Amino acid sequence: MDTDGHRVIAKYYHPKSHPHAESQKLRYLKEQRAFEKGLYQKTKRAGGDIILYDSHLVVYKHSLDLIFCLIADPSENELMVHSALTAFCDAVHLLLRRQVEKRGVLENLDLVLLCLDEIFDDGVMVETDPTAIASRGPDFRTGFLQVKLMDMRHALCFLQPMLNVADISHSNQTNQFIMELPYDVLAIGNHELYDYANTYDMYTNFAPHWNGRYLSSNVNITVFDGNNNTISVPVGSRYTKFKTRKGRSITSLGVLYDFTGNDVNTTVQTVADMVKEEWFAEAIAEEPDVFVLLGHMPVRYDNWPTVYDAVRAVHPTTPILIFGGHTHIRDCTQFDGRSMALESGRYMETVGWMSANLDVPKDHNITFTRRYLDANRVTYEYHTGRSNFTYDTAAGQGITQGLLELAVDYDLSYLFGYAPQDYTLSRNPYPSNGSVLTLYVAEAMPYALTINSSRILVPNIMIVNSGELRFDVLSGSFTKNDQLTAAPFTDSFLYIPNITFSVASLVLPALNKAGADEKRSLEYMEREMEKYAMGDVSMRYNAWLEEMNERHMERRETTENLNLGYVTQDLCPGVGDDTPHIPVPYYSSPDFISSNPPSVSNDTLVDLVFINFIETQLLEILNGVQSDKAYTDSDVLSYSPTLANAVLGLYAVKYWN
């Protein structure tokens, strides 16, 4: 653990040959965390090296900002336990070739875990010679870097959609798992900036953990200094310089695209202005072996050329590796023969891999490869040369267990029912029986919103924007987690009463016509650019899906025995997709969708029900399709206490059991 009492790595053994092998003690993450917290209080002061704690024999050593602890049954031989800990510490020192400190351990976690595995076999001591242990490690790691392009607030496994993103205690729980991963360098994303409390959490709790490797080159936060004056400071670090284990020098930046949706007291400097800063010139002045530029910004149709040009003006031939993101697509381009820019999909669907042969003369092009790896266990086992029985690590199992325990804490496995089929967002046309949009507006919403409603006997038309749904509903068990994945937004439902059906039925077509007319106008493109700047990537992602599907239909490619997935066509040579796929079918949907209209006469008075997110647009349209009354927000009432993210669960309880 570190000298603040936080776990760095831990491995708990329960040998089958031990007399207490069946004991459940210290098998679960919560219990382990509590044990470690108490242990820290007993070992945080340097000086001693052996104690009895909680019916365990504990041998420990301090090393700079780390405390190494070896815990054993009190009946074990103290000298043997001490020799095992000494062997571990000495072997780690030999492999890392420097003083052992937290940053070095995190950067070389594979080597540290190798030492543990060489000393212990399922908790049984098998080796105590540090030289022999270290000799089984590699002479050096290759120049292998792990980078993370953030959007932490909506990329935290399955848990984040249900958490209040302003609740720092919740976000800290999920951040802890990210902090256990051995990333070499990380960059901020736009989702860390929608709420100041989130940004402040990243600044105070997350960034310090990475010792300068969490980058926010053009993103600042306003905080109070020691004299209670406000100052604007980087959320993370502007840049970092480090060496790989093989000795290559790296200069790295972490850039965010020109995002405008950030909260007050956070600042995003434009990329064009960033490259003019004095600190930027200082950062790139010294030539490294390679520039590693990462950031939450797409590799095409954005500002990476601005950063690239600024670096190239100083270093015409230095290799430049760019890792982009944000638009959720797989993409790759090269600005010259000694650079490559890679963007690796959305969420955790894709792991990007780039390799470069840097051992070539400066006047030669570099040989690059890139792969888009489907993020699943089969892919990982294949590329690591492991099997299903040898792939898992103790660290990975610990994170899995921690996530499962959080899922229990938040009841994410609560079962609403069993979906009879797949309902997709864009793989089936709208309207159709396979569309989740149809399911939501034609079946689920009319049922869920009229439960215990005083308006149940009044005919209605219910309208939502199609963006209210975010993901597919798959056949089988439908849980609280599935509900929040498909429809995460806590929007409310409003209504305007006593509108004639003849008028109410005009609203949906008018809303969609206004959107269609806009798409042919310059104002629409300007508005789309504004939405992109605010963080909306749906236009680019959907266009990518549509292009992929159309290309497949035109070529009529043979796709026997292939699964659905991405079929990438980028601007880099060779094949990018690691696994061949059939392209995901894509059907566009209207911007606004509604429940089935009631079978009533034109003069029947109905309720016009809608999501609060579209209130302004709907009032404008309603006043455009009739002139008898000028409707305002004073005419708008609350229709139901049910929120948008609860609709599918209520429907499933009734109809999927």
pLDDT over 90 (residue 254): yes
Structure letter (DSSP) for residue 192: G
Helices 109-119 and 78-96, packing angle to 10 deg: 150
Distance CA(504)–CA(182), nearest Å, equals: 57
pLDDT, tens only, 510-544: 998 875 555 555 666 777 788 789 888 888 998 99
pLDDT over 50 (residue 154): no
Residue with the larger pLDDT of the pair 547 and 30: 547
Q: Are 105 and 79 in contact (CB under 8 A)?
A: no
Cα-based torsion angle of the residue sequence 284, 286, 292, 298 in order, rounded to the nearest 10 degrees: 20
Distance CA(435)–CA(419), nearest Å, equals: 13
pLDDT over 80 (residue 157): no
State residue 162's pLDDT score: 33
What is the average pLDDT across 333-339? 98
- Residue 105's nearest CA partner among 290, 249, 238, 245 is 245
State residue 180's pLDDT score: 85
pTM greater than the 0.85 cutoff: no
What is the average pLDDT across 625-636? 95
State residue 253's pLDDT score: 98
The pair of three-digit structure tokens given for residue 347, joined into one six-digit string? 């969420």
pLDDT, tens only, 12-63: 887 777 666 677 778 788 888 889 999 998 888 766 688 888 888 999 988 8
Distance CA(623)–CA(630), nearest Å, equals: 6
State residue 559's pLDDT score: 62
> What does pLDDT average to over the chain?
88
pLDDT, tens only, 556-568: 666 667 898 999 9
Quote the percentage of the chain above a pLDDT of 70.
91
Distance CA(181)–CA(400), nearest Å, equals: 12
State residue 99's pLDDT score: 58
pLDDT over 60 (residue 156): no
Distance CA(144)–CA(608), nearest Å, equals: 58
The pair of three-digit structure tokens given for residue 538, joined into one six-digit string? 């749906």
- What are the chain's domains? 29-135 (3.30.450.60), 166-375 (3.60.21.10), 415-536+585-655 (3.90.780.10)
Residue with the larger pLDDT of the pair 159 and 617: 617
State residue 173's pLDDT score: 77
pLDDT over 90 (residue 176): no
Residue with the larger pLDDT of the pair 606 and 31: 606
pLDDT over 90 (residue 119): no
What is the average pLDDT across 434-452? 96
Q: Strand runs (DSSP E) across 216-338, as ranges?
A: 219-224, 230-234, 239-243, 249-256, 266-268, 290-296, 320-324, 330-333
- Cβ burial of 153 (10 Å; 0-12, 13-18, 19+) is buried
The pair of three-digit structure tokens given for residue 54, joined into one six-digit string? 């909680």
State residue 546's pLDDT score: 92
Beta pairing partners, 251: 241, 291
What is the average pLDDT across 136-165? 50
